[in-house]
Amino acid sequence: MTKRQQRMAAIGALVVGLGLAATLGFTAIRKNMMYFYTPSDVAAQAPSADATIRLGGLVVAGSVRRGEGLRVAFTVADCESEVPVHYEGILPDLFREGQGIVATGRVGTDGVFTAQEVLAKHDEEYMPPELAEKLTDENGKHSCAEFKRVVQS
């Protein structure tokens, strides 16, 4: 082989190697990517049954039902739509009706979200931007008073 042919072979091998590395990297990123959905997003177009997503919203008052062991069923809403959620595990200390949560899991073909993890927000002011936009009125205040926890004095 001449020097020119050796250089061309080396450049070809480099291009093939970079293409393979990019393909493997993008595949790994795509498999590990989780999208954030609100109940309205799920109602409008449910993600595929094999897609792991994050579902965020407020726990509807009166919807928490405890089952055997660590099984819990509740409903998450965003003022427009509701999604039933099933979870088996220990809930966070801050979990309660009217509280904002983000749950990781999958939507079944029956429309029930099966959560693998449930996180409760710890700050009254913070919530994901997509959810905050759905829950605020024209004055910038939360418009879903029926989902908020009522504090008795």
Annotated binding site: 122, 126
Q: According to the 3-state scheme, what is the secondary structure of the chain?
A: CCHHHHHHHHHHHHHHHHHHHHHHHHHHHHHHCCEEECHHHHHHCCCCCCCCEEEEEEECCCCCEECCCCEEEEEEECCCCEEEEEEECCCCCCCCCCCEEEEEEEECCCCCEEEEEEEECCCCCCCCHHHHHHHECCCCCECCHHHCCCCCC
Annotated binding site for heme: 122, 126
